Structure 1
Amino acid sequence: MRKIKKIIGMLLLCSIILAQTVYAIENIPENQSTNKCNINKNGYFAEKNHIIYYMKYVKIEENHEALQLYQYDLQTQIASPLCKDYFQYDPIAPIYNMRVCNDGYVYFKAQREEIKEEEQKSGYYRVSVNGGKSEYVCKYEEIAFLSDSWVYWTEKNVFYNLVTNEVIENTVTSPFDAVSITQYWNSTCEYQDTIYIQARHWTAKDVDGTSDEIKYKNGQALEYGVYALPLHEQNAFHKIELEYKINYFQIYNNNLYYLNENTIKQYSLQNHTTKTIVKVESGNIYQFAVYNNTLYYCYSIEKNGKYYHNLYSVSLNEEQSQAIIAVPYLFGNQIHILEDVICYAHVDKWSIGNWRIFDIHTGKRYFIEL
């Protein structure tokens, strides 16, 4: 009888384990908590270790709502506030640029409900992933996040490591605008202690008064292209020769993936070879990201006079892998491609609707109410 009970107990335990969601391998170093395509979409979400971080409107008084930092656990499917402080959108630039960094903090841009004297109206704040009070970090235009470990500090023209507190002077170029390199047209980032800089030819300032022209110390502008700046061997600074001018790039597993309108190519940082990963016959690819050896990209197709927006995926583990639809019929242009989920929402003229969440691993769909 005891043996039968033991067998039944083991079967029940196995059924519970099999019923649980199987997620990606933990702590893959090149899977950033967010990426440039998400910052392009205002950085509403970040994800790390299967937890999504986002801002949610909560009612704090009659006829008054404020933003509060929330977390959503993908394994338990429970949402909870991470911080008791309240925030508002920056009315001039309503973006978050949210990411979870390797120092154990969630960073985001916002305006605190009750502004302290030393704080600007809009700046970067951080909250521990374990919860607690928010901390004011700096003015929004002072820093740019290059990865989950490295930031660029424009005023001092230095690179700063959030984990080790290491400070490295930029000896190659003049200070470049921190706001510009966080914009959608610039993919400047850090990978394995090398800064990959995207230089453009634009010299006219944008509507916010910034310019993304990057210059050498002697004042000469960098030619259009992508440059590698090793942090600890800056005399090895060099331009990377790519086949096409690029719209956007991302680095993953020692490869630089770059988009040129209707083509995504892979450039090996080790042997300097190039191959085509995706090419569409008509139209343009308008967003892509790489997570867990899979490349995801957004592309529109026309059927009977109507356009349908789908998210496709291509496995990077297999040679000449065919693209398949990962998420059909995306809504609007607010799409966040994260490690475990795709977050997307319909956007109208005045507001963003509740977010639809698609779990890449299980195919399950659910909602996050803002």
Structure 2
Amino acid sequence: MDRPTVFDFNRALTLTRQCPVYQPTPLLKIKAPSGHQLMVKDETSRFRMGAFKALGGIYAMATILIARWRVENQTDLKPECLFMEEIQAWSRQFTFVCASAGNHGLAVARGAKLFNAGCRIHLADNVPVAFENRLLTLDATVVRSGANYEESMRAAVADSANGEILLSDSAWPGYSHIPFLVMEGYTVMAEEMRAGFQAEGPWPTHVFLQAGVGGLAAAITCHIRSIWSHQPKIIVVEPDAAACIMESHRRKTLTEVKGPVSSMGRLDCKSPSTLAFDILHRQADKFVCISDLDAERAVEFLATHQLCTTPSGAAGVAAVLGAAEQNLEIPENAVCLALVTEAET
């Protein structure tokens, strides 16, 4: 039997706390139209970037730089030293490359600016110009590569052949260490929630996690199954245009799907991460998909509670609102947890 994946959330939390703007994000309580209690982890203010992805990309980059320093200098480097002038001059030699549907690229660009490294971000043609402009304000080099996320990822891999560091949030055979670090960064969010439930309750009975390639959903799921004292049902939520994890789970093997472009752009990924799929296939309880209309209705619902997000950010909440249509059979006394993963852009 393969050894189960275990993330070191303490390492991630210790390093993340070195960031001057780190603050735990709030956990809000809302009444769903069905009457269920709904708790929402609000990531719209995370690291002043407005998305959970900041936890993964910045943490992974810092960890990579610390490891490179150790190899080159045979000494350890404390995380806080990454902001020193001498270390920033040394970091300039590195260029990080990634593909992104939006927020992962912003996290990599923000990390590169923090640590004085270079970065090139590959965007598919269907990524909004607004994301490109935000990347440019962070001094990133933006390359338009292909019609969809999968094509931009292939371009990023090719672009990292001359010593650049590929910092992807998706894993595949032969490439898993860096996506593992990205996912380990996401466990900070799960630990913030665990600490809040432990201190104040109530513990959720049902957790709804949206998925693109699956990194966020898998990281949170792994932390829940490994650490939480109360074990909820875990429901993975995908766009019906890109239900690659659901289909892979059904077939019990990694599966690429085809479908139209979804308004849930950050979740519109047709192939799952190998690392994420392995975790979710074994540890999640149910897989559901939602329509663009479902997600847009959830955006409207959240706006009535002063939470401004996107269809991607609202996908987990959309599954809660549509639980009856999904035949999820949620008891009346259930406590549902969902993540609002990004701010409206």
Report the structure, 1 or 2, having the larger strand content: 1
TM range (shorter): under 0.3
**Per chain length, whose mean CA-contact separation is higher, i.e. which structure has more relative contact order (CA < 8 Å, sep 6+)?**
2
Q: Which has the larger radius of gyration?
A: 1
Report the structure, 1 or 2, having the larger helix content: 2
